[in-house]
Amino acid sequence: MNARVEARYVGSSMNPLVLRRNPLPEIIFLGRSNVGKSSLINCLLGQKGLARTSSTPGKTRLFFFYEVDEKLLFVDPPGYGYAKVAETVRTRWMKEMERYFRKSDTLMGVVQVMDARHAPTPIDLDMARWLAESQIPTVYALNKSDKLTRSKLAEAMRRAGGELSFPGAGQTIAFSTVNKDGRKELWGVLDKWRAEEKLLHGK
Ligand SMILES: Nc1nc2c(ncn2[C@@H]2O[C@H](COP(=O)(O)OP(=O)(O)OP(=O)(O)O)[C@@H](O)[C@H]2O)c(=O)[nH]1
Ligand SMILES: [Mg+2]
Protein backbone atom coordinates (compact mmCIF):
# COMPACT_ATOMS: atom_id res chain seq x y z
CA MET A 1 0.00 0.00 0.00
CA ASN A 2 3.01 2.32 0.27
CA ALA A 3 3.43 2.95 -3.45
CA ARG A 4 0.48 5.27 -4.10
CA VAL A 5 -2.54 5.74 -1.97
CA GLU A 6 -5.77 7.54 -2.61
CA ALA A 7 -6.83 9.35 0.51
CA ARG A 8 -9.67 11.70 1.22
CA TYR A 9 -10.95 13.68 4.14
CA VAL A 10 -14.28 12.29 5.33
CA GLY A 11 -15.12 14.46 8.30
CA SER A 12 -14.27 15.79 11.73
CA SER A 13 -15.94 15.63 15.09
CA MET A 14 -15.59 16.32 18.79
CA ASN A 15 -16.62 12.71 19.35
CA PRO A 16 -14.37 10.00 17.90
CA LEU A 17 -17.23 7.52 17.66
CA VAL A 18 -19.27 9.63 15.31
CA LEU A 19 -18.20 7.70 12.21
CA ARG A 20 -18.79 4.41 13.90
CA ARG A 21 -21.05 3.16 11.17
CA ASN A 22 -18.14 3.37 8.78
CA PRO A 23 -17.10 -0.30 8.59
CA LEU A 24 -13.48 0.32 7.57
CA PRO A 25 -10.69 -0.82 9.90
CA GLU A 26 -9.27 2.18 11.75
CA ILE A 27 -5.79 3.31 12.68
CA ILE A 28 -5.54 6.08 15.25
CA PHE A 29 -2.43 8.25 15.65
CA LEU A 30 -1.90 9.11 19.30
CA GLY A 31 0.65 11.39 20.86
CA ARG A 32 1.34 14.64 22.65
CA SER A 33 0.47 17.84 20.86
CA ASN A 34 3.08 19.02 18.38
CA VAL A 35 4.90 15.67 18.03
CA GLY A 36 3.83 15.59 14.39
CA LYS A 37 0.79 13.30 14.24
CA SER A 38 -0.87 15.22 11.40
CA SER A 39 2.45 15.61 9.53
CA LEU A 40 3.03 11.87 9.88
CA ILE A 41 -0.38 11.09 8.39
CA ASN A 42 0.38 13.41 5.46
CA CYS A 43 3.77 11.74 5.03
CA LEU A 44 2.28 8.23 5.02
CA LEU A 45 -0.37 9.30 2.53
CA GLY A 46 2.04 11.29 0.39
CA GLN A 47 -0.30 14.31 0.50
CA LYS A 48 1.20 17.36 2.11
CA GLY A 49 -1.82 19.45 3.02
CA LEU A 50 -4.41 16.76 3.75
CA ALA A 51 -4.21 16.61 7.56
CA ARG A 52 -3.95 20.07 9.05
CA THR A 53 -0.64 20.72 10.78
CA SER A 54 0.06 23.58 13.12
CA SER A 55 2.88 25.30 14.90
CA THR A 56 0.49 26.23 17.73
CA PRO A 57 0.30 23.02 19.73
CA GLY A 58 -2.94 21.86 21.27
CA LYS A 59 -5.06 24.23 19.22
CA THR A 60 -7.35 21.76 17.52
CA ARG A 61 -9.63 19.73 19.76
CA LEU A 62 -11.30 17.82 16.94
CA PHE A 63 -10.86 14.30 15.63
CA PHE A 64 -10.26 14.25 11.85
CA PHE A 65 -11.02 11.23 9.68
CA TYR A 66 -9.37 10.22 6.42
CA GLU A 67 -10.35 7.33 4.21
CA VAL A 68 -7.40 5.55 2.63
CA ASP A 69 -7.85 3.60 -0.61
CA GLU A 70 -11.41 2.88 0.53
CA LYS A 71 -9.80 0.25 2.78
CA LEU A 72 -8.69 2.00 5.94
CA LEU A 73 -9.71 4.90 8.11
CA PHE A 74 -6.97 7.10 9.60
CA VAL A 75 -7.99 9.03 12.71
CA ASP A 76 -6.09 12.20 13.62
CA PRO A 77 -7.06 13.10 17.19
CA PRO A 78 -6.18 16.09 19.33
CA GLY A 79 -2.88 15.72 21.15
CA TYR A 80 -2.74 14.63 24.76
CA GLY A 81 -1.07 16.13 27.76
CA TYR A 82 -0.27 19.58 26.46
CA ALA A 83 0.37 21.82 29.43
CA LYS A 84 -1.59 24.78 28.14
CA VAL A 85 -4.72 22.76 27.59
CA ALA A 86 -7.09 23.21 30.51
CA GLU A 87 -7.42 20.30 32.93
CA THR A 88 -11.15 19.95 32.16
CA VAL A 89 -10.37 19.60 28.45
CA ARG A 90 -7.71 16.98 29.20
CA THR A 91 -10.05 15.01 31.45
CA ARG A 92 -12.71 15.08 28.79
CA TRP A 93 -10.14 13.88 26.25
CA MET A 94 -9.17 10.90 28.41
CA LYS A 95 -12.84 10.01 28.90
CA GLU A 96 -13.47 10.28 25.17
CA MET A 97 -10.48 8.08 24.43
CA GLU A 98 -11.53 5.41 26.94
CA ARG A 99 -14.98 5.34 25.45
CA TYR A 100 -13.50 5.20 21.97
CA PHE A 101 -11.26 2.23 22.80
CA ARG A 102 -14.11 0.44 24.55
CA LYS A 103 -16.68 1.02 21.87
CA SER A 104 -14.85 1.14 18.57
CA ASP A 105 -15.36 -2.28 17.05
CA THR A 106 -13.38 -1.38 13.94
CA LEU A 107 -10.12 -0.26 15.58
CA MET A 108 -7.20 -2.12 14.01
CA GLY A 109 -4.32 -0.50 15.81
CA VAL A 110 -2.56 2.56 17.17
CA VAL A 111 0.43 4.49 15.91
CA GLN A 112 1.81 6.14 19.03
CA VAL A 113 3.88 9.13 18.02
CA MET A 114 6.68 10.43 20.25
CA ASP A 115 9.43 13.00 19.87
CA ALA A 116 12.74 11.28 19.10
CA ARG A 117 14.64 14.06 20.87
CA HIS A 118 13.13 13.35 24.28
CA ALA A 119 12.65 10.28 26.43
CA PRO A 120 9.04 9.01 26.42
CA THR A 121 7.08 11.14 28.90
CA PRO A 122 5.16 9.60 31.82
CA ILE A 123 1.94 10.09 29.85
CA ASP A 124 3.50 8.38 26.80
CA LEU A 125 4.52 5.44 28.98
CA ASP A 126 1.14 5.23 30.75
CA MET A 127 -0.63 5.28 27.41
CA ALA A 128 1.71 2.66 25.88
CA ARG A 129 1.31 0.35 28.88
CA TRP A 130 -2.45 0.77 28.90
CA LEU A 131 -2.65 -0.05 25.17
CA ALA A 132 -0.45 -3.13 25.67
CA GLU A 133 -2.55 -4.32 28.62
CA SER A 134 -5.66 -3.78 26.54
CA GLN A 135 -4.06 -5.88 23.78
CA ILE A 136 -4.45 -3.14 21.21
CA PRO A 137 -1.82 -3.54 18.47
CA THR A 138 0.50 -0.54 18.75
CA VAL A 139 3.60 0.67 16.94
CA TYR A 140 5.77 3.50 18.31
CA ALA A 141 7.02 6.15 15.89
CA LEU A 142 9.90 8.29 17.17
CA ASN A 143 9.30 11.33 15.01
CA LYS A 144 11.50 14.33 14.14
CA SER A 145 14.46 11.96 13.91
CA ASP A 146 15.94 14.36 11.33
CA LYS A 147 16.74 16.67 14.24
CA LEU A 148 19.21 14.17 15.70
CA THR A 149 22.62 13.04 14.54
CA ARG A 150 22.98 9.40 13.66
CA SER A 151 24.60 8.55 16.98
CA LYS A 152 22.07 10.55 19.03
CA LEU A 153 19.27 8.79 17.18
CA ALA A 154 20.79 5.39 17.89
CA GLU A 155 20.95 6.39 21.56
CA ALA A 156 17.33 7.59 21.50
CA MET A 157 16.19 4.31 19.91
CA ARG A 158 18.04 2.31 22.58
CA ARG A 159 16.52 4.41 25.36
CA ALA A 160 12.99 4.16 23.95
CA GLY A 161 13.44 0.44 23.31
CA GLY A 162 14.43 0.01 26.96
CA GLU A 163 11.53 2.02 28.34
CA LEU A 164 8.97 0.50 25.98
CA SER A 165 9.84 -3.09 26.76
CA PHE A 166 6.95 -4.28 28.94
CA PRO A 167 4.88 -7.34 27.95
CA GLY A 168 2.86 -6.69 24.80
CA ALA A 169 4.93 -3.65 23.81
CA GLY A 170 5.05 -2.80 20.11
CA GLN A 171 7.87 -2.20 17.69
CA THR A 172 9.72 1.15 17.69
CA ILE A 173 10.41 2.91 14.39
CA ALA A 174 12.53 6.04 13.88
CA PHE A 175 10.53 8.43 11.71
CA SER A 176 10.93 11.77 10.00
CA THR A 177 8.21 13.49 8.07
CA VAL A 178 10.91 15.78 6.64
CA ASN A 179 13.02 13.11 4.93
CA LYS A 180 10.41 10.32 5.01
CA ASP A 181 12.60 8.00 7.08
CA GLY A 182 10.59 5.15 8.54
CA ARG A 183 7.71 5.54 6.09
CA LYS A 184 8.21 2.18 4.41
CA GLU A 185 8.75 0.38 7.69
CA LEU A 186 5.62 1.89 9.24
CA TRP A 187 3.52 1.03 6.19
CA GLY A 188 4.92 -2.49 6.55
CA VAL A 189 3.44 -2.75 10.05
CA LEU A 190 0.07 -1.31 8.98
CA ASP A 191 -0.09 -3.64 5.96
CA LYS A 192 0.71 -6.59 8.21
CA TRP A 193 -2.09 -5.62 10.61
CA ARG A 194 -4.46 -5.37 7.70
CA ALA A 195 -3.38 -8.70 6.25
CA GLU A 196 -3.96 -10.35 9.60
CA GLU A 197 -7.36 -8.66 9.84
CA LYS A 198 -6.50 -8.02 13.42
CA LEU A 199 -9.78 -6.35 14.28
CA LEU A 200 -10.70 -6.06 17.90
CA HIS A 201 -13.90 -7.54 19.19
CA GLY A 202 -13.70 -10.47 16.81
CA LYS A 203 -14.51 -8.70 13.53
N1 LIG B 1 11.94 18.68 11.92
C2 LIG B 1 10.74 18.06 11.88
N3 LIG B 1 9.62 18.75 12.16
C4 LIG B 1 8.44 18.10 12.12
C5 LIG B 1 8.36 16.71 11.83
N6 LIG B 1 7.06 16.33 11.89
C7 LIG B 1 6.37 17.43 12.21
N8 LIG B 1 7.17 18.51 12.35
C9 LIG B 1 6.77 19.88 12.73
O10 LIG B 1 6.18 19.85 14.04
C11 LIG B 1 5.11 20.80 14.15
C12 LIG B 1 3.85 20.11 14.63
O13 LIG B 1 3.40 19.21 13.63
P14 LIG B 1 1.89 18.67 13.60
O15 LIG B 1 1.86 17.59 12.56
O16 LIG B 1 0.92 19.78 13.47
O17 LIG B 1 1.78 18.02 15.07
P18 LIG B 1 0.51 17.37 15.77
O19 LIG B 1 1.03 16.28 16.63
O20 LIG B 1 -0.50 17.00 14.76
O21 LIG B 1 -0.01 18.56 16.70
P22 LIG B 1 -1.50 18.76 17.34
O23 LIG B 1 -2.50 18.53 16.24
O24 LIG B 1 -1.49 20.17 17.84
O25 LIG B 1 -1.64 17.77 18.44
C26 LIG B 1 4.97 21.44 12.76
O27 LIG B 1 5.64 22.68 12.79
C28 LIG B 1 5.65 20.43 11.84
O29 LIG B 1 6.18 21.04 10.69
C30 LIG B 1 9.60 15.99 11.54
O31 LIG B 1 9.65 14.78 11.28
N32 LIG B 1 10.75 16.73 11.60
MG1 LIG C 1 -2.47 17.57 14.51
Q: How confident is the model over 55-111, as pLDDT tens digits?
A: 666 566 788 999 999 899 999 988 876 556 666 766 777 777 888 888 888 899 999
The pocket of ion ligand 2, defined by CB under 5 A, consists of: 37-38
CB atoms within 10 A of CB 13: 12
Model pLDDT for residues 82-96, shown as the tens digit of each residue: 556 666 766 777 777
pTM exceeds 0.85, yes or no: yes
- Tell me the CATH number at 133: 3.40.50.300
Residue located nearest, by CA, to atom 2 of ligand 1: 144
Say what the pLDDT of residue 14 is: 77
> What's phi and psi for 105, nearest 5 deg?
-95, 10
Distance 52 CA to ligand 1 centre (A): 10
pLDDT greater than 90 at residue 153: yes
Q: Is the CB of 39 under 6 A from ligand 1?
A: yes
Amino acid at 126: D
Alpha carbon distance 198, 13 (integer Å):
26
Give the chain's mean pLDDT.
86
Give the helix/strand (H/E) hosting 93: helix 87-103
Could you tell me if residue 182 is inside a domain? yes
- Split into its structural domains, the chain has a count of 1
177 Cα to the center of ligand 1, angstroms:
8
- Ligand 1: which of 42, 48, 50, 54 to mutate, judged by most atoms within 8 Å of the beta carbon? 54
| Domain, as residue range, for 146 | 7-202
64 contacts: CB under 8 Å, gap ≥ 6? 9, 11, 12, 38, 51, 52, 75, 76
Ligand 1 test: best mutation among 61, 177, 180, most atoms within 8 Å of CB?
A: 177
Is residue 2 in some structural domain? Answer: no
- Does residue 42 have its Cβ closer than 6 Å to ligand 1? no
Average pLDDT over residues 131-135: 91
Residue 1 domain-assigned? no
**Ligand number nearest to the C-alpha of 58:** 1
CB 54 less than 6 A from any atom of ligand 1: yes
Taken as a whole, the chain contains a residue count of 203
Question: 138 has which bridge partners?
Answer: 110
- Whether residue 140 is contained in a domain is answered as yes
